[in-house]
């Protein structure tokens, strides 16, 4: 067991779990925040890519570059929608819905990649759907205007685009993780530039800039470095379990620092969602049959 890789992945997930807390203190809207985040990540990972000499050994293929650009569009939209969800609802609720992404991977995989939908996946999907209804509260599904203002749509879209990011990146095998992320964040800069209102950065405090640059260099640059440096040394099951550190930290910070306290139905909904996700990724060990004596 690679202890160093486990520690790196755990630290990266714990740090990413604090992104919601940082976001609400930046003082800028989602689109502007993601724009700065892309700039910081491009600089950080680009320099690291050059220092490690990875740029000299890259295998560039036109097909993979196009796939990476498309993946970058999905990734940036995922970030924008997640941060917009943070603006409208509590971090705990947004993160819980955001973590429906593995379920959407199953659904989209069954639709577009013709992957078989198992009974386990179907049960998990239904469980997570019920959990999302509990989290939002049935009253928010009665009025369309209240439903749209709740932030649920933004959180759901962030989960969908995160799932699309995962599905798209599955077929990219030759590019290094640094090159992959560098291209994606560069796409984000070009993609968001026409929509940025630079006047929103005027009058920001030192504290605001601390949180803005923190989301860029810490939550994107440093976290991505730790994440990509660790997952290649760990099993898929172990990675899937350690990823749960992210939402746990996010919910704890929301409760301890932002005074969020879920009601009974919301707590039940959160448990349903994470129960459904864990049920999806958990693979019980097969019992070994006693060997016959010859």
Rounded to an integer, what distance in angstroms lies between the CA atom of residue 73 and that of residue 18? 24
Signed CA dihedral, 250, 20, 103, 167: sign only: negative
Domains of the chain, by residue range, sit at 1-279
- The whole-number pLDDT of residue 96 equals 79
Rounded to an integer, what distance in angstroms lies between the CA atom of residue 244 and that of residue 276? 13
Q: What is the DSSP string of 60-124?
A: --HHHHHHHHHHHHHHHHHHHHHHHHHHHS-HHHHHHHHTTHHHHHHHHHHHHS-----HHHHHH
- Tell me the mean pLDDT in the region 28-56: 88
Is residue 8 predicted with pLDDT exceeding 80? Answer: yes
* pTM of the full structure: 0.80
292 — pLDDT class (breaks 50, 70, 90): very low
C-alpha dist (Å) from residue 246 to 14, 208, 222, 272: 5, 23, 15, 17
- The whole-number pLDDT of residue 161 equals 92
142 — pLDDT class (breaks 50, 70, 90): low
- The whole-number pLDDT of residue 7 equals 86
Is residue 146 predicted with pLDDT exceeding 80? Answer: no
Is residue 9 predicted with pLDDT exceeding 70? Answer: yes
216 vs 115, residue with greater confidence: 216
**If DSSP codes are grouped into helix, strand and coil, which group holds residue 222?**
helix
Signed CA dihedral, 248, 253, 256, 262: sign only: negative
Lowest mean pLDDT among 101-105, 143-147, 241-245: 143-147
pLDDT in tens, 158-187: 989 988 887 887 777 788 777 888 888 999
- Tell me the mean pLDDT in the region 214-237: 77
- Tell me the mean pLDDT in the region 257-280: 78
Rounded to an integer, what distance in angstroms lies between the CA atom of residue 25 and that of residue 169? 31
- Tell me the mean pLDDT in the region 75-90: 89
Rounded to an integer, what distance in angstroms lies between the CA atom of residue 272 and that of residue 277? 9
Q: Do residues 40 and 217 make contact, with C-beta atoms less than 8 angstroms apart?
A: yes
Q: What percent of the chain has pLDDT over 90?
A: 21
283 — pLDDT class (breaks 50, 70, 90): low
Q: For residue 143, how many other CB atoms are within 10 A of its CB? A: 11
Rounded to an integer, what distance in angstroms lies between the CA atom of residue 93 and that of residue 104? 17
Q: Do residues 22 and 223 make contact, with C-beta atoms less than 8 angstroms apart?
A: no
Lowest mean pLDDT among 134-148, 180-194, 227-241: 134-148
């Amino acid at each position: 067991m690679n202890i160093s890789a486990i520690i790196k992945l755990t630290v990266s997930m714990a740090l990413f779990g604090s992104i919601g807390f940082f976001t609400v203190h930046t003082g800028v809207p989602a689109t502007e925040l993601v724009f700065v985040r892309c700039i910081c990540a491009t600089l950080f990972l680009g320099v690291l890519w050059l220092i490690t000499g990875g740029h000299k050994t890259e295998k560039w293929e036109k097909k993979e570059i196009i796939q990476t650009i498309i993946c970058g569009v999905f990734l940036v939209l995922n970030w924008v929608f997640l941060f917009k969800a943070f603006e409208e609802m509590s971090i705990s609720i947004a993160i819980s819905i955001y973590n429906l992404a593995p379920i959407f991977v199953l659904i989209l995989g069954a639709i577009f990649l013709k992957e078989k939908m198992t009974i386990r996946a179907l049960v998990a999907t239904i469980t997570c759907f019920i959990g999302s209804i509990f989290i939002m509260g049935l009253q928010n599904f009665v009025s369309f205007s209240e439903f749209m203002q709740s932030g649920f749509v933004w959180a759901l879209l962030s989960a969908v685009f995160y799932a699309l990011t995962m599905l798209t990146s599955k077929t990219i095998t030759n590019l290094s993780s640094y090159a992959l992320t560098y291209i994606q964040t560069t796409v984000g800069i070009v993609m968001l530039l026409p929509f940025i209102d630079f006047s929103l950065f005027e009058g920001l405090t030192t504290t605001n800039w601390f949180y803005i640059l923190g989301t860029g260099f810490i939550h994107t640059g440093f976290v991505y470095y730790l994440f990509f440096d660790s997952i290649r040394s760990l099993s898929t099951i172990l990675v899937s379990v350690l990823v749960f550190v992210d939402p746990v930290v996010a919910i704890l910070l929301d409760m301890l620092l932002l005074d969020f306290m879920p009601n009974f139905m919301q707590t039940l909904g959160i448990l349903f969602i994470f129960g459904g996700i864990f049920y999806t990724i958990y693979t019980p060990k097969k019992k070994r049959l006693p060997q016959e004596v010859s």
